[in-house]
């Protein structure tokens, strides 16, 4: 008998009939004389044998003195033993055999089909190896996804901190410099009455005002101070700015006590609305937008909808759809998720859902 398992093959046989055990030994030795077979009769001996960790497969009669093979299977689960387990018994009925397989038992072979036993063992070992490999792969994938989620959470936190730092630098350094320039221009205007100079000063003042407004807009986009006044005020500010820039009306419906949300949840909700409005302005070609936010039934729901051209599934799956994927990852940082409902020509809805704790207090 040739297998990938370490040779010689070692079989644990749970059988209370010496004659049946002898028949199994004779059949297996026909294929490989090096096979080692150990027989046990009781659950206690079975459990003790499993501790040796030297077996490659378990063969078990179904009905034994005072217990069944299912009891032995339960012992293996308690001890977290992952050996392939084959029922080798008389006629136990199709229903019992199917029930055993559903529990996770590898295979069933009637005792009157012993010539098939070597092939059955080989197949059970191979299938068990595949199952264990899949479990290992699934476990590694889960660990990888957990590491990725942790990294995404750290990245989002780092991005927000960097945005706040850049916003402060713009306010303190650039904002202060622009304000000083404006005072100097006012002074020049008061002390220089020449027409040509006055025109240049007026032009410079206008350009300076545009620079001041641009810096303020950049600061608000990076880390809006209005968010400190709560999610409601921040969303109204976003919708107002969107309407002015795009000439598209936005209806905002807010329900619930949003002021009690933690700052981290408010920030995720705010960024979701911000990204949704950015996507709408770039792609939607719509004539109206609706923002609905509520905390009904212990779940914060943020839905941003438009009546534009919609987005196809293929567009959502584009490799460079970082905005939408960023929303998904950002939502995960607070235990939430994002759903996108869209149909070509019928608009798009981006829905953020975040389960809320029973009592939510604002974070300091």
pLDDT, tens digit, 9 for 90 and up, residues 149-182: 777 767 767 777 787 778 778 877 787 888 888 8
For residue 76, what pLDDT is reported? 93
Fold of the 10-136 domain: Rossmann fold (3.40.50)
pLDDT at 176: 81
Give residue limits of the domains in the chain.
10-136, 225-364
Q: Which CATH architecture has domain 225-364?
A: 2-Layer Sandwich (3.30)
Residue 328 in this model has a pLDDT that exceeds 80:
yes
DSSP state for residue 297 in the 8-state scheme: G
pLDDT for 107-164, tens place per residue? 999 998 999 999 999 999 999 999 999 999 999 998 888 787 777 767 767 777 787 7
> How far apart are the C-alpha atoms of 179 and 171, rounded to whole Å?
10
| Predicted local distance difference test score (pLDDT) of residue 329 | 83
CA-based angle 320:274:303, to the nearest 5? 95
Burial class (CB in 10 A: 0-12, 13-18, 19+), 264: middle
Q: Is the pLDDT of residue 270 over 70?
A: yes
198-225 average pLDDT score: 80
Please report the pLDDT score of residue 246 as a whole number: 92
Task: Return the pLDDT at 314.
Answer: 66
The residues, ordered by sequence, that sit 6+ positions from 102 with a Cβ below 8 Å of its Cβ are none
CA distance 77 to 44: 15
* pLDDT above 80: residue 312: no
Helix (H) or strand (E) holding 210: helix 195-222
Cβ atoms 83, 55 nearer than 8 A: yes
Global pTM exceeds 0.85:
no
């Amino acid at each position: 008998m040739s297998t990938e398992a370490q040779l010689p093959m070692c079989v644990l046989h749970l059988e209370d009939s010496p004659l049946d055990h002898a028949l199994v030994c004779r059949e297996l030795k026909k294929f490989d004389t090096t096979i080692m077979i150990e027989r046990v009769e009781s659950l206690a001996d079975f459990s003790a044998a499993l501790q040796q960790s030297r077996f490659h497969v378990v063969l078990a009669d179904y009905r034994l003195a005072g217990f069944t093979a299912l009891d032995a299977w339960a012992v293996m689960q308690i001890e977290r033993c992952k050996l392939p387990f084959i029922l080798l018994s008389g006629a136990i009925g199709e229903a019992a055999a199917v029930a055993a397989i559903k529990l996770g038992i590898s295979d069933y072979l009637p005792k009157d089909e012993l010539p098939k036993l070597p092939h059955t063992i080989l197949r059970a070992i191979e299938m068990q190896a595949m199952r264990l490999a899949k479990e290992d792969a699934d476990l590694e994938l889960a660990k990888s996804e957990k590491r990725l989620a942790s990294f995404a959470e750290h990245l989002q936190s780092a991005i927000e901190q960097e945005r706040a730092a850049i916003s402060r630098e713009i306010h303190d350094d650039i904002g202060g410099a622009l304000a000083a320039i404006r005072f100097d221009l006012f002074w020049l205007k008061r002390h220089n009455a020449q027409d040509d100079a006055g025109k240049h000063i007026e032009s410079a003042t206008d350009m300076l005002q545009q620079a001041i407004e641009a810096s303020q807009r950049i600061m608000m986009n990076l880390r809006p101070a209005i968010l400190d006044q709560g999610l409601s005020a921040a969303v109204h500010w976003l919708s107002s700015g969107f309407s002015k820039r795009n000439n598209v009306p936005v209806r905002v419906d807010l329900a619930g006590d949003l002021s009690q949300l933690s700052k981290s949840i408010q920030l995720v909700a705010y960024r979701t609305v911000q990204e949704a409005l950015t996507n709408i302005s770039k792609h939607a070609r719509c004539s109206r937008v609706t923002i609905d936010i509520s905390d009904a039934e212990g779940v914060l729901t943020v839905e941003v909808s438009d009546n534009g051209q919609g987005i196809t599934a293929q567009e959502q799956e584009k490799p460079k759809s970082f905005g939408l994927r960023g929303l998904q990852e950002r939502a995960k940082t607070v235990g939430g998720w994002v759903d996108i409902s869209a149909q070509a020509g019928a608009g798009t809805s981006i829905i953020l859902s975040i389960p809320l704790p029973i009592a939510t207090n604002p974070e300091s």
